[in-house]
Amino acid sequence: MERYSVIEMKNPREMLLLKSRPCHWGLCSFCDYISDNDVNVQENIRMNKKVIKRVTGIHRQLEIINSGSCMELPNETLSDIQAIVTEKAIEKLYFEAHYQYKHELEAFRKRFTVPIVFKTGIETFDDDFRNKVLKKGVYFNAPSEVASHFESICLLVGIQGQTKAMIHRDIEILLKNFKYGCINIFQNNSTPIKADKDLIEWFHNTYGALEKLANIEILWHNTDFGVGGNSHEA
């Protein structure tokens, strides 16, 4: 499993895939990457130290993902991240967290000396599809409510049952409300959720040009960030 990469093209940054305790939610129907979670805290700390040591500070920006939420990383790992931030003069951090942690973001921010961009997996703004099909456990009244907590969101595109109308609306909301967006194109994995190849092709033809925007990343393949064997997000 590759746990370190450097993203050079857009918003250049180093990226780490660290290990944490099990995702507190753990129920998303499309997610099979929580198998990377581990209850062995000492082993997580040991592994994370090895990965964190690889940071060079080349782009002064560092993104940490962990197949769950940043609040689930070991305390000692968070201290190790702050230490590397200082040592390598990192100027900005990116972390991911499930929406249910929205009230813990500010306390988390205080642990670090540099600004943090928090990312959360919304997947779609269609409430039924998000919570009944994808079982995401993310509830809010309006996109502005999400944007008041998170600058960056992930959308999931290309699942059987998803419609073009849903995707049009999701993209519109993303562009209007959020500073950063990451669009994950779904690929079949070990869950019963299945990709819709025609929908993915339609998305590619209709929205592929979004990649030209500085603030939007599209992961056509789940290893496009260079870490992990699957798309990872909280």
What residues line the site for ligand SF4 (CB under 6 A)? 23, 25-28, 31, 34, 67-68, 98, 121, 233-234
Residue 143 main-chain phi, psi, to 5 deg = -55, -35
Of 11 and 29, nearer to ligand SF4 (C-beta) is: 29
Which residues are within 8 A (CB) of 3 and not within 5 positions of it... i.e. 6 or more apart? 16, 17, 18, 47, 51, 227, 228
Of 21 and 59, nearer to ligand SF4 (C-beta) is: 21
Q: In the bound complex, what is the minimum distance in angstroms from residue 120's beta carbon to ligand SF4?
A: 9
Single-letter amino acid code for the residue at 195:
A
Tell me the torsion sign for CA atoms 156, 126, 163, 176.
negative
Q: In the bound complex, what is the minimum distance in angstroms from residue 132's beta carbon to ligand SF4?
A: 15
Distances (CA, A) of 225 to 11, 47, 230: 12, 20, 10
Of 28 and 64, nearer to ligand SF4 (C-beta) is: 28
Of 84 and 134, nearer to ligand SF4 (C-beta) is: 134
For residues 89 and 68, give the distance between their C-alpha atoms in angstroms, rounded to a whole number. Answer: 26
Please state whether beta strands 152-157 and 61-65 pair in parallel, antiparallel, or not at all (unpaired): unpaired
Of 121 and 158, nearer to ligand SF4 (C-beta) is: 121
Q: In the bound complex, what is the minimum distance in angstroms from residue 233's beta carbon to ligand SF4?
A: 6
Q: Which of 220, 190, 187, 188 is nearest to 203 (CA)?
A: 220
Q: In the bound complex, what is the minimum distance in angstroms from residue 205's beta carbon to ligand SF4?
A: 27
Q: In the bound complex, what is the minimum distance in angstroms from residue 207's beta carbon to ligand SF4?
A: 22
